[in-house]
Amino acid sequence: MVRAGLIGSLLLFAACGIDALKSFPPAPAQPDIYTTPTQYMFGELLEGDRSEPVAIMVGNAGLGDLAVSSVTISGDNAGSFFIAEDALTGATITAGGQELTIIVGFNPDGPGTRQAWLEIGSNDPDENPAKIALHGLGAIDAAGPVAVCNATPTSPIATINAVTWSGSDSFDPDGFALVGYRWRIIEKPEQSWTPMPNCATQPECGPFLPDVQGSYTAELVVQNEIGLTDTCTVTFNASSAGDGPVAVCGVTPSLVRPPFETATWIGNNSYDPDGFAITRYSWRLSSSPAGSAVTMPTCSTANCGSFAPDITGTYVGELTVENAVGHTGTCSVELVAEPIESLWIEMYWQHSGDDMDLHLLSPGGLPNTSGDCYYANCVGRSPNWGAAGVNDDPSLDLDNIPGTGPENINISAPAPGTYKVFVYDHPNRTYQSGNAVTVNVYVDGASVFSETRTISGERTSEYFCTIDWPSGIATPL
User: Out of 108, 129, 386, 394, which residue is the one contacting Ca ion (CB under 5 A)?
Assistant: 386
Q: How far is CA 415 from CA 342, 389, 471, in A?
A: 11, 11, 11
Closer residue to Ca ion, CB minimum distance, 172 or 397: 397
392 binds Ca ion (CB under 5 A): yes
Closer residue to Ca ion, CB minimum distance, 56 or 378: 378
155 binds Ca ion (CB under 5 A): no
User: Out of 214, 423, 425, 465, which residue is the one contacting Ca ion (CB under 5 A)?
Assistant: 425
397 binds Ca ion (CB under 5 A): no
User: Out of 278, 393, 422, 466, which residue is the one contacting Ca ion (CB under 5 A)?
Assistant: 393
Count of residues interacting with Ca ion (CB under 5 A):
12
357 binds Ca ion (CB under 5 A): yes
230 binds Ca ion (CB under 5 A): no
User: Out of 135, 284, 327, 429, which residue is the one contacting Ca ion (CB under 5 A)?
Assistant: 429
The C-alpha atoms of residue 24 and residue 20 are separated, in whole angstroms, by: 6
Closer residue to Ca ion, CB minimum distance, 138 or 386: 386
Closer residue to Ca ion, CB minimum distance, 124 or 425: 425
Closer residue to Ca ion, CB minimum distance, 195 or 402: 402
Which distant-in-sequence residues (6+ apart) come within 8 Å of 113 by Cβ?
Answer: 135, 136, 137, 138
Cα four-point dihedral sign 376, 378, 380, 385: positive
CB of 370 to Ca ion, least distance (A): 11
The C-alpha atoms of residue 16 and residue 450 are separated, in whole angstroms, by: 149
CB of 393 to Ca ion, least distance (A): 4
The C-alpha atoms of residue 248 and residue 263 are separated, in whole angstroms, by: 17
CB of 418 to Ca ion, least distance (A): 17
CB of 326 to Ca ion, least distance (A): 47
Closer residue to Ca ion, CB minimum distance, 220 or 358: 358
Q: Which stretch binds Ca ion (CB under 5 A): 159-167, 248-256, 420-428, 446-454?
A: 420-428
Closer residue to Ca ion, CB minimum distance, 167 or 386: 386
Closer residue to Ca ion, CB minimum distance, 346 or 355: 355
Burial of residue 374 (number of CB atoms within 10 Å: 0-12, 13-18, 19+): buried
Closer residue to Ca ion, CB minimum distance, 230 or 354: 354
Closer residue to Ca ion, CB minimum distance, 284 or 426: 426
CB of 475 to Ca ion, least distance (A): 24
Contact at 8 Å (CB) between 219 and 186?
yes
Q: Which stretch binds Ca ion (CB under 5 A): 217-225, 277-285, 318-326, 455-463?
A: 455-463
CB of 392 to Ca ion, least distance (A): 5
Q: Which stretch binds Ca ion (CB under 5 A): 195-203, 339-347, 355-363, 469-477?
A: 355-363
**Binding map of Ca ion across residues 76-115, x = CB under 5 A, - = no contact:** ----------------------------------------
User: Out of 431, 442, 449, 469, which residue is the one contacting Ca ion (CB under 5 A)?
Assistant: 431
Cis amide linkage into residue 31, ω under 30° from 0: no
CB of 276 to Ca ion, least distance (A): 50
Contact at 8 Å (CB) between 318 and 335?
no
Q: Which stretch binds Ca ion (CB under 5 A): 182-190, 275-283, 302-310, 392-400?
A: 392-400
CB of 444 to Ca ion, least distance (A): 20
Closer residue to Ca ion, CB minimum distance, 320 or 382: 382
Q: How far is CA 237 from CA 160, 211, 329, in A?
A: 13, 12, 26
Closer residue to Ca ion, CB minimum distance, 62 or 406: 406
CB of 458 to Ca ion, least distance (A): 5
Q: Which residues form the interface with Ca ion (CB under 5 A)?
A: 354-355, 357, 384, 386, 392-393, 425-426, 429, 431, 458
